[in-house]
Amino acid sequence: MITGLSHVSIVVPDLAAALEKMRVTYGLNAGEIKVNDEQGVRMTYIDLGNAKIELMEPSRADSPIAKFLERNPKGGIHHFCLGVDSVVQTTDALTAAGVQVLGAGKVQLNVHGERIAFVHPKDFLGALIELEEHGG
């Protein structure tokens, strides 16, 4: 079911400024910036070897990330992501256990084309959790 920590996602108001801060202050470099049109975000990852830091900014005003920034103008941690063998099997098992999986079973894909799903914060100690399929 769960295979490990994939990434921690941080929403930022200015992706370019955040990348510069990470590079200059912490010596961390990010990969290519990608756009996920479905989720309305511009994003990139800083690979730490055993997990990643995902940095996101809204690409449109009606995205959930834009709404997050309205409530948190300086940005902040949005969610963390757990790798799973199969999103379908994991969400089916979690739903059977009474967990609310967001999106009503609609298949969602990340910028890499991997299946993803989100677990409602009320069912994971107040934290929004993304499940990301890493199975072969």
Residue 135 pLDDT grade (very low, low, confident, very high; cuts 50, 70, 90): low
- Domains of the chain, CATH where assigned: 2-133 (3.10.180.10)
What is residue 113's predicted lDDT score, i.e. its pLDDT? 84
Greater model confidence, 107 or 97: 97
Does the pLDDT at position 123 exceed 80? yes
pTM value? 0.89
Q: Are strands 52-58 and 115-119 parallel, antiparallel or unpaired?
A: unpaired
Greater model confidence, 91 or 105: 91
Query: Taking residues 33-60, what's their average pLDDT?
Result: 94
Residue 30 pLDDT grade (very low, low, confident, very high; cuts 50, 70, 90): very high
Does the pLDDT at position 122 exceed 80? yes
What is residue 112's predicted lDDT score, i.e. its pLDDT? 83
Residue 125, exposed/middle/buried by CB under 10 A (0-12, 13-18, 19+)? exposed
| 2-14 pLDDT tens trace | 999 999 999 999 9
Query: Taking residues 44-69, what's their average pLDDT?
Result: 96
Average pLDDT, the chain: 93
Catalytic residue among 20, 54, 114, 130: 130
Q: Are 130 and 94 in contact (CB under 8 A)?
A: no
Tokens of 105: 């079973």
Does the pLDDT at position 29 exceed 60? yes
**Known catalytic membership, residue 20:** no
Q: Rounded to 5 degrees, what are φ and ψ at 77?
A: -70, 130
